[in-house]
Amino acid sequence: MKVTGRFFALYRERIGKSVMEIDIEDSSNVEDLVNLVVNTYPSLSSDASKIVVAVNRVYAEHDCVLSDGDEVAFIPPVSGGCL
Amino acid sequence: MIRVTEEYVAVQEVINSLSREVHGAVVTFLGTVRLWTGDRKVLYLDYEAYPQMAEEQLRLIVNEGKLRPEVEDIAIYHRIGRLTIGDVSLIVAVASKHRREGFEACLAVVERIKEIVPIWKKEVWGQGEVWVRSEGV
């Protein structure tokens, strides 16, 4: 199946892309996808298990099962608002 | 109003967007771009958003806030793009029956925005740049 990966801020700078189509096995979950991406782009993060993800714009755990066509955003720690 | 945009929006416009029900208090918060972070003199900030999700998360926060007793309406404007010193990056306006609930809700909303809204800030100064709070990941 195909999912769309979206990358922002620090992650976008580290891998040089803001969006990519990713081929992955049917019934993969978020953890499978994150591991695939980190293996392909090791500069993304030193710890795949800590990466926060949103599936179709809703925060999701790493055991969340993905479907064909899902949009999976890789979310660096947020810093909007103000300090 | 719930807006995430590169456009400038004046605080009065945010206040005017609040519901016209009877309320006794309007509390507003403005987040501004400051010149100094510790000993770093900031040149500018670049704000980036996951736009659709950012607005949806702001909507969640507004709905949460309106469950608070005495809170009647909440408006949030977050600016993105390049901001310079003195620019306003965030406006939160809360209409409530009484002032205490308004102040408390306004603070809670600002804190919540920092927790869950997918907006990121890169700070640029003379000797470098950093994605605020992201570098440790």
Nearest 5°: the CA angle B107, B110, B116 is 135
Nearest to A45 by CA among B135, B82, B11: B135
pLDDT tens by residue, B30-85: 999 988 878 888 999 999 999 999 999 999 999 999 999 999 999 999 999 999 99
pLDDT for residue B134 is more than 80: no
Binning pLDDT at 50, 70 and 90, where does residue A83 land?
very low
Flag if A8 and B115 touch (Cβ within 8 Å): no
pLDDT at B96: 96
Whether A11 and B136 have beta carbons less than 8 Å apart is answered as no
ipTM of the modeled complex: 0.90
Q: Is B89 on the interface with A (CB under 8 A)?
A: yes
pLDDT at B136: 44
CA distance B132 to A77: 9
Q: Is B53 on the interface with A (CB under 8 A)?
A: yes
| CA nearest to B112 within chain A | A81
Binning pLDDT at 50, 70 and 90, where does residue A80 land?
low
pLDDT at B34: 86
pLDDT at B20: 74
pLDDT for residue B15 is more than 80: yes
Q: Is B77 on the interface with A (CB under 8 A)?
A: no
pLDDT tens by residue, A13-69: 999 999 999 999 999 999 999 999 999 999 999 899 999 999 999 999 999 999 999
Residue A76 with chain B: CB contacts under 8 Å: 120, 131, 134, 137
Retrieve residue B21's tokens: 């029900």
Q: Which distant-in-sequence residues (6+ apart) come within 8 Å of B69 by Cβ?
A: B101
Residue A47 with chain B: CB contacts under 8 Å: 137
Flag if A79 and B89 touch (Cβ within 8 Å): no
pLDDT for residue A77 is more than 90: no
pLDDT for residue A81 is more than 50: no
Q: Is the pTM of this model over 0.90?
A: yes
